[in-house]
Chain A
């Protein structure tokens, strides 16, 4: 059985969340996705604080970060992850509408692992999310300590 690894999706826009999950679901990749609505919640999850105090062990295999979020934005979350000894090995992918060079430069400067611009067309969007999901949740071998489940055992969220 191929292992399906946990994905943390930080996205403030519910419609984008729905579209993303739809795209992942189309390829049976949506069962181990944790969705958080802003940067603060993302950090709470990663550092097991607040509502996520009692969550399951292990870091996500990949963090999909929106750049523009309320309270704490994606770049700040990225900076915190890459500055933490326990988390810095966790792959982070920026998924954003912004094509601005400044954002690209800043993200790579902070050590982002990939940068994906959301296409406007739905078909292209689905294709992009599918590739992201299958690469990071199946193909890529995450650093030790990441949470793992098997595809069959995963409960659909």
Chain B
């Protein structure tokens, strides 16, 4: 019953009570009506049988003598019985001896005598009985009765039943209204409580338990549930407070650390500033005065002395170079990243153009795949390519032909760039030392360098959230890989 789905529980209860009482009243009335009907029929049949018996008694003598006129007279007395519509007396041979028909009616008697007994037709009750004389049958009596009266009686019965039905439904409605309240009131109060709790988020409200039935149990269960919720709420609140306090402490700690870090950073900056300014001056003086000595006093110096001066100058210059590169390295770690779209093809080409002079008249094959555009700091990425490509050019110096290949592999989340050369390579057991500051795998006499280039590469690539590694075989070549994320996460 879909219409009941949206009805309130009060309506549902009323409908259920009215329906149940209505059904029982209808059933009772139907029983009562059936009983009345059957009883009435029995009384009528008995009544008609009695009348037929009396008629048979009154006419048996006349029938015995086949006195038709006398029989007619007896039958004519039936006119005092308004319900009897017709009657007839037959002899044993089935011949009609006399008949009666109520005035104003045209009755057709059956051609043959029906068997003994009573039968109801549409609006008639017909009774056929034997006429006895001294216990033996001498003929048959046929009586027919009009049932119109009975119908009327049933109608009035029906009216009473309908009246009773309506009356009992009205009473049932009032009873239902009263009864429904005893069930619905606790339910309604429970609903009200639930609504208040959910609307106000106030878990201290409790439903009042007024009954000990299932609804009472429900109320008790809900109160227990509310207890638990409010307990949890309290716990949650306390936990949140704790988290907040911890957070504040953490923030305070972070703030303190940041201040410390900032101070340390400032000190570091001041340090590198001093390094840049103050360490370079004495180097310049060493070189300068050594050169001046050479210039003004070369006559008084022998070949050995001149070579010493040369070495002093060279060392000073080399130290200046080391300081410069160390400063670049420290700057790469501190400088702000300026993210933009970088076309790696263009960048590789520019760097190769700059390094062209290092190739001199060497036989060389340098090729590059088509490279993607990435998001990054272009000056930093240029330094990465400069370092890796100048390394590739440097370490292939002793080969007959320099072969360098630049490529890129497209992986799910990142691009893997690589630069492969056929140069001096390196022993893989020292691979972990490649990217350390001032770490070198070759002697300066073989290949010059400060040992800071790859450390710079690592620092820059890691600041781009990428990684870097190298593979090498001694005297066969090396491959250096670095990755850049496709999404270009802008942090670090």
Contact = CB atoms under 8 A, between A and B. Distances in A.
Interface of A: 13, 15-16, 19, 22, 67-68, 96-100, 118-123, 125
A121 B286 CA distance: 9
A97 B276 CA distance: 7
B289 A15 contact: yes
B287 A96 contact: no
Given A16-B284, A123-B291, A97 B277 contact: yes
B383 interface: no
B276 A16 contact: no
A118 B284 contact: yes
A155 B269 CA distance: 44
Nearest to A120: B320
A38 B348 CA distance: 47
A68 B277 contact: yes
A22 B288 CA distance: 10
Given A19-B289, A122-B313, 17 more contacts: A15-B281, A15-B285, A15-B289, A19-B288, A19-B292, A96-B277, A97-B277, A97-B281, A98-B277, A99-B276, A99-B324, A118-B281, A118-B284, A120-B284, A122-B284, A122-B291, A123-B291
Interface string B280-300: 110111011111100000000
A13 B288 contact: no
B317 interface: yes
A121 B317 CA distance: 6
Given A22-B292, A98-B273, A122-B313, A16 B280 contact: no
B30 interface: no
B143 to A, nearest CB: 138
B393 interface: no
Interface centre among A22, A120, A123, by most chain B C-beta atoms within 10 angstroms, is A120
Contacts of B320: 120-121
Nearest to A96: B277
Contacts of A123: 291
Contact of A98 (B276, B290, B313): B276
Contacts of A118: 280-281, 284
A121 B312 CA distance: 11
B272 to A, nearest CB: 8
A68, A100, A122 pick with most chain B CB within 10 angstroms? A122
B291 A16 contact: no
15 contacts: A15-B281, A15-B289, A16-B284, A19-B288, A19-B289, A22-B288, A68-B277, A97-B281, A98-B273, A99-B324, A118-B280, A120-B283, A120-B320, A122-B291, A123-B291
Nearest to B282: A15
Contacts, number: 59
Contacts of B283: 120
B179 interface: no
B284 A99 contact: no
Q: How large is the interface on B (under 10, 10 to 19, 20 to 34, 35 or more residues)?
A: 20 to 34
B474 interface: no
Nearest to B313: A122
B281 A13 contact: yes
A75 to B, nearest CB: 13
A72 to B, nearest CB: 17
A100 B313 CA distance: 25
A15 B317 CA distance: 17
* Best-buried of B276, B290, B313, B316 by chain A (most CB within 10 Å): B276
Interface centre among B283, B291, B324, B327 (most CB of A within 10 A): B291
A13 B289 CA distance: 14
A122 B277 contact: no
A94 to B, nearest CB: 12
B287 A122 contact: yes
B439 to A, nearest CB: 24
Contact of B285 (A19, A67, A98, A100): A19
Contacts of A96: 277
A125 B288 contact: yes
A122 B290 CA distance: 9
B106 to A, nearest CB: 137
A121 B283 CA distance: 8
Contacts of A16: 281, 284-285
Contact of A120 (B287, B290, B292): B287
Contacts of A119: 284
A102 B46 CA distance: 134
Contacts of A68: 277-278
B288 A122 contact: yes
A81 B316 CA distance: 36
Contact of A100 (B276, B288, B321): B276
Contacts of B291: 122-123
A123 B313 CA distance: 11
Contacts of B316: 120
Contact of A19 (B280, B284, B317): B284
A96 B288 CA distance: 16
Contact of B287 (A13, A97, A99, A121): A121
A122 B289 CA distance: 8
A68 B313 CA distance: 25
Contacts of A97: 276-278, 280-281, 284
Interface in B304-331: 313, 316-317, 320-321, 324, 327
A99 B327 contact: yes
Contacts of B276: 97-100
A100 B284 contact: no
Nearest to B331: A101
Contacts of A122: 284, 287-288, 290-292, 313
Contacts of B288: 15, 19, 22, 122, 125
B337 to A, nearest CB: 15
A68 B284 CA distance: 16
Nearest to A118: B284
Contacts of B313: 121-122
Q: Return the 5 tightest CB-CB contacts between A and B, nearest first.
A: A120-B320, A122-B291, A122-B288, A97-B280, A19-B288
